[in-house]
Amino acid sequence: MKIKNFLVLFATLAFGQFIKADEGMWLLQLMKQQNSIDLMKKQGLKLDADALYNPNGVSLKDAVGIFGGGCTGEIISSEGLILTNHHCGYASIQQHSSVEHDYLTDGFWAKNRSEELPTPGLKFQFIERIEDITYIVNQKIANGETSEIKALTRPFLDKLANELFEKSDLKNKKGIQVQALPFYAGNKFYLFYKKVYSDVRMVAAPPSSIGKFGGETDNWMWPRHTGDFSMFRIYADVNGDPAEYSPNNKPLKTPKYLTISIKGLNEGDYTMIMGFPGSTSRYLTVSEVKERMEASNDPRIKIRGVRLAVLKEVMDASDKTRIQYANKFAGSSNYWKNSIGMNKAIIDNDVLGAKAEQEKKFNEFAKNRPEYQGVVNKIDSIVSSTMPVTRQFYYLSEAFRGAIEFGSPFQLMDQMKRAINEKNDSLKNKTIEELKGVFAALHNKDYDHEVDRKVAKAVFPEYAKAIAAADRPVFFNVIEKQFKGDYNAYIDAMYDNSIMSSQANFDKFIKKPTVKVIDNDLATAYSRAKFDKTNEIAKLLNTGGNELALLHKAYIRGLEEMKLPVPSYPDANFTIRLTYGNVKSYDPRDGVHYNYYTTADGILEKENPEDREFIVPGKLKELIEKKDFGRYALADGRLPICFLSSNDITGGNSGSPVMNAQGQLVGCAFDGNWESLSGDINFNNQLQRCINLDIRYVLFILEKLGNCKHLVDEMTIVE
């Protein structure tokens, strides 16, 4: 076994010229098997594999977890203190904000534990255990208990996960949840045991003028001067177990937390990032890349563009609306701009050419391997037939499921009709209570009916411009026949008169519900038509979906075999990964060089009091002008803000810890650079950079601006 491992390592290093050393979102559980730990040590790592991931003990893995529903956070003290991005904590900051307590604008700093704010709905998840269950899935396929395609589906994997959980020694532990997932397109399967904490409290957040400095203008751009961080704390019961909020809960005593280094960084220094990258598509064919550009990205760009224009106008006009829609705007605009940049980078970086070269090599490899012959052509054929339908799906989803919030629970309305027709008072009363819950959820504190009306008036014509009449939902027929093609008249009628439009309309209906009112309700008909069209499109897409999934399984298995002995990593799927690289500058264009770090000088250079994105808080400006940076300054007296590294990241890695060769925290990952936004499809080692917040700027803001030295003192800092 040792000889075999040596030969694999030797071959890997011998063929090193084919390895893009910084590429890869590596599975922790395969580090030893794939010898990626040796490649990391060659790059500069000073730790052994068990220090990073130890299935039988405590490791760095135990200081990293899932923050909320789509970000990463890290533990930075022995008492459950979490560091993540400001944009990851943004929904929670907005949740606590109001015109009277505008934490988005003013920031939030808990001066003691009693001021830390409980945040209902916010969770933090640790990975307790990872098990390889590939052999179990394959055995079930071989026994006829499932098919190869059904083994990839969520119902099968959820059922299997629960079965295995019931047999495990963790089944009686509090807060444990399980998830089984396919990797390498279903060539491997892993089961994740997660420990979920639900009492997570907000501790610190800089004002948005720091946490979002540069706004959408600087998003995905370098140089960057954004203090993109926020802090939260995990609370647990007296035994340290997960528990719902209680004033009796205590800060979690964590088995592992990250030591912080403020020694500084130099070009070429080793960096590694552990986190939960959300989704990549590194194994697409040329036809699938084109589909991504035209059928997915284009609809997102166009529909979100018109929605964001409306939201920007109304948010600029009202503080109340700005707070209400802050999180929605940020979430929508992030991948709107990403899609624009991705389409541009695919062309600029010749991703289609790279994929064509990959296909050429694969087809050569497949010549004497029947199981791989014709795979690419079959994929292309399916994509060719489904691409127009995929485009319809994304336009429909972006317009009527994403941009427009208003609608009606038509299934409940059908239930009400049944109750009325059957004269079933029990069912009628039950339905009324359910409708009350839906109405309250729709008209929540972050929804404005008039804002949504304006969005609808912008979105409807944009959708109609893109989608042929025959392919639109049937409510467009109503617009043509009853409203003579006048979108605004239809929207006004629906937003004014529908059952769910206002409290007055709703109360009038539930006081005396009738079938006639339901049948004439525009919002109910609109919601039903939207649902029906979505189902119709989904069925069309599913026609080739199963075959495509199996073709991808073969294609990715073949690509993996073709690369041997060089190891391969699976696409990101929001599971814990490790990526390694170095602090690294880059040259995006002829005659242009970007340094690997920025300083506070750039904050003042970008300052524009007339532009909300570039306002500098008075106290911060004073500190910068006085150069009052304390121990966080560089040798030349300047204050570091952000830095670049060559780590391979994507969405979901937001908030991930950036660690040095000793495993000490030096920064917090928060963005990628504009020139490499095609990186989710094809990694470019020359251009792809991870934009990170320097931990020294975090500590400076906490101590000097937030007056939270007690939080800094809580951490273990290496100078």
Q: Show which residues are catalytic.
A: 87, 228, 654
How many residues belong to the chain? Answer: 719
* Neighbouring C-beta atoms of residue 568, cutoff 10 Å: 18
517 CB-near residues (< 8 Å, 6+ apart): 499, 509
Query: If you ran DSSP here, which 8-state letter would residue 676 be given?
Result: G
Contact yes or no for 131/191 (Cβ under 8 A): yes
Element (H, E) at 341: helix 319-348
Q: Name which of 219, 48, 39, 53 is nearest 575 in CA terms.
A: 53
Query: Which residues contact residue 700 at a Cβ distance below 8 angstroms, ignoring those fewer than 6 apart?
Result: 629, 630, 632, 639
DSSP code, position 182: E
- Cα–Cα distance measured from residue 425 to residue 444, given in angstroms and rounded to the nearest whole number: 29
Supply 43's token pair: 């790059």
Beta-bridge mates of residue 179: 192
In eight-state DSSP terms, residue 69 is: T
Report the C-alpha gap between 94 and 102 in whole angstroms: 8
The tokens describing 266, both together, are: 């130099």
Total Cβ atoms within 10 A of residue 620: 22
Q: What is the DSSP letter of 571?
A: P
Which backbone phi and psi does 260 adopt, to 5 degrees? -110, 130
**Cis bond leading into 299, ω under 30°?**
no
CB atoms under 10 Å from CB of 247, counted, come to 7
Residues 6 or more apart in contact with residue 383 via CB below 8 angstroms? 285, 287, 288, 291, 548
Name the CA radius of gyration of the chain, rounded.
27
Residue 174's nearest CA partner among 196, 191, 158, 199 is 196
Cα 431 from Cα 449, distance rounded (Å): 24
Residue 73 neighbours by CB under 8 Å, 6+ apart = 64, 65, 66, 67, 82, 83, 84, 88, 124, 232, 655
CA–CA dist 719, 630 (Å, integer): 12
Query: Among candidates 199, 204, 174, which has minimal Cα distance to 249?
Result: 199
Residue with tokens 């079959």: 378
Longest dimension (CA), the chain: 82
In terms of C-beta density within 10 A (0-12 exposed, 13-18 middle, 19 or more buried), how is residue 713 classed? exposed
- Measure the CA–CA gap between 565 and 159, rounded to whole angstroms: 35
Output phi, psi for 242, to 5 deg: -60, 140
User: Distance between CA 243 and CA 238 in Å, rounded?
Assistant: 10
Structure tokens of 175?
Answer: 């807060």
Distance CA 551, CA 372 (A): 9
CB 643, CB 692: distance < 8 Å:
yes
